[in-house]
Structure 1
Amino acid sequence: MDTSPAIETTAAPSWTVGAVTVHRIDEVLLPPATGRWLLPDATADLVGRQEWLYPDFAGHDGLLRIASHSFALTVGGLRILVDTGIGNGKERANPAWNDLRTGFLERLTTAGFPPDSVDLVILTHLHADHVGWNTREVNGEWVPTFPHARHVTSRLEREFWATYDMDEARRQMFRDSVIPVEEAGLLDLVDIPAEGVEVATGLRLLPTPGHTPGHIAVELTSQGETALITGDCIHHPVQLAHPDIGACVDIDPEQSEASRRRLLGSLAGTKTLLLGTHFAPPTAGRVIPHENTYRLAPVPAVPKTDSH
């Protein structure tokens, strides 16, 4: 049974960036309480003062709308997936993530990216809601979902978690969603310099540390046009208006804020398309200077979807 509420299962929403089409592969809209837990400083009063957040990114009750999805694109002949969501049938402490049954792989396949065809998986960081579809259960074992894909993440990211004192829930996530990919020889660790590193034609990984030490954003450039996939450097558009608002799970809140401010400052007033990894539909937009900080000017996907 597909538990994703009111999400399109035919044509994946997409945006055109130069010669590249970026598809949003929906997994699930997260419960309304997620935003209040994740961004506790985004109070209803503060959210209510940003009228541009309504109705897409927040409800009139002040609750933030947050989604889980991946982005799929083809560049340089490579079929690429950025982040792999929560996954199906995973044992998770967060009840919103536990034992999901969604049609993610069907939506991915319908968009033209059947699992066996994926060449490159980029993991912005190693959190449970970004690595879950790295594996799927086959005959009681977790096996790589994308068996022919090179899985790339920051070397700093993997090395940090290797020495981190994990609780059982995080150890379980590594056991079912990271270690099987490593044991299959599919995980590549990449050094990410300050200027970023290109991993495919026009596709650059940029360091945006703080949420996790090795967190990366993904920049796409094609025919003079640019897009940027946020990962968890920015969880929600309210952080454009208030870059000081961090997530309760940020490893280094000050560094996370600094990365967010630096990124937003570089995008403000440009034509770069910002694609939020957790932004509810319409998901994408351009960063506009607004009241001493910023706001998002939405750019709807085609076909336009409404998952509210």
Structure 2
Amino acid sequence: MALEVIKSKIGDVEIMQVVEQPLDQYYSMFLPMATPEEIEKIDWLKTSHHVNKDLSLKGSSQMFVVKVNKRVFVIDTCIGNEKQLLEFPFWANQKFEFLETLDEIGFDRNSVTDVLCTHLHLDHVGWNTYYKDGIWHPTFPKAKYHFAQDEYDWWHEVAPVDDFLITHKDVLMQSVYPVIRAGLANFVARDADLGDGISLISTPGHTVAHISVQVKNGDQTFIIGGDMCHHPCQIAKPDWAMAADFSQDQSTESRQKMFENIADTETLYTCTHFKNPAFGKVKKNENGEYVYNSIDYSK
């Protein structure tokens, strides 16, 4: 069955989201403090499309495609197929019709000029590669794959050995090293300017060198925040840190800094796992609390 594809336009920038799978069932593990009782207290959220009728959380594993000028950026590449994931059997050996969906909608993988991974967790690098004839091949063979140098160095050289990290060594073997061997990797600073209005923002905490992606085109600016937030409830509650954050204090600080900077501006914000309509504006209410107003830009 073909996957859901959402096409949008923000100003002159074309955006496509390829939704790999829903993640609703995992949120009690991701954000255990976000109980229905706590969500009930957040007026703007409890009536939004970001929660189910029982006030449990909604979210997706999805890839963003951003077309700006003559560049085609792919941002965060989901879980992928055929991945061997020791500690994550529920995401291992998947059979998503991801490539078939791209073919069906006429999306040419050779047209992708840039791939950006906000961090190197397994659900953000999976479709960097696909498995065929016993070999992992780059999914986007004409693209530069941009990785934050500090992020790569930590996973490659520094990460301590435990079951969780051993799994992620396998992730590197399957989804990152094949790209490097193909000569497609480009290691960048966490605040790099990639041209055509695309730049990076350092938002550490979920991982040691997590980045967000900022797109400026004319008068319009939007930010794709990766896993800086896993759900819009973290906009209302920036101190609600995800269970697997590398540093919960640091991820909270990154959220607070981001929302302070963009609140009550025209900057649009989303994160990789937000349910569509995924983009919105952050405002402060009369109590100084952050409110997220989603806007539907789909065509």
Give the TM-score normalised by the residue count of structure 2: 0.92
Distance 1:112 1:264, change over 3 A: farther
| Mapped contact 2:198–2:213 kept (Cα < 8 A) | yes
2:25 to 33, 36, 54: 33
For the aligned residue pairs, the C-alpha RMSD in angstroms reads 1.7
Q: State the 1:147 CA deviation.
A: 1.2
Specify the SS of the correspondent of 1:178.
helix
Structure 1 unaligned regions, length at least 5 = 304-308
CA distance in 1, matches of 2:181, 2:61: 27
Q: How does 1:9-158 map to 2 (within 5 A)?
A: 12-30=5-23, 32-53=24-45, 54-92=47-85, 93-109=87-103, 113-158=107-152
Give the TM-score normalised by the residue count of structure 1: 0.89
Identify the residue that residue 302 of structure 1 maps to in structure 2: 298
**Number of residue pairs aligned between Structure 1 and Structure 2:** 292
Identify the residue that residue 191 of structure 1 maps to in structure 2: 189
1:177 to 156, 175, 178: 175
1:243 to 238, 241, 245: 238
Deviates more, 1:144-153 or 1:93-102: 93-102
| Mapped contact 1:80–1:118 kept (Cα < 8 A) | yes
Specify the SS of the correspondent of 2:222.
strand
Give the letter for the 1:140 counterpart: G
| Mapped contact 1:76–1:200 kept (Cα < 8 A) | no
Q: How does 1:264-275 map to 2 (within 5 A)?
A: 264-275=259-270
Distance 1:267 1:111, change over 3 A: farther
| Mapped contact 1:237–1:295 kept (Cα < 8 A) | no
Give the letter for the 2:194 counterpart: V
Give the letter for the 1:198 counterpart: D
| Mapped contact 1:82–1:121 kept (Cα < 8 A) | yes
Structure 2 unaligned regions, length at least 5 = none
Per-residue CA distance 1:77-117 (angstroms, 9 max, x = gap): 11110111111121223244222222323444455542222
Give the letter for the 2:25 counterpart: A
| Mapped contact 2:14–2:68 kept (Cα < 8 A) | no
Q: State the 1:177 CA deviation.
A: 0.8
Runs of 4+ in 1 over 4 A off after TM superposition: 109-112
Q: State the 1:176 CA deviation.
A: 0.8
1:165 to 137, 143, 160: 160
Identify the residue that residue 306 of structure 1 maps to in structure 2: none
Specify the SS of the correspondent of 2:179.
helix
Q: State the 1:33 CA deviation.
A: 2.8
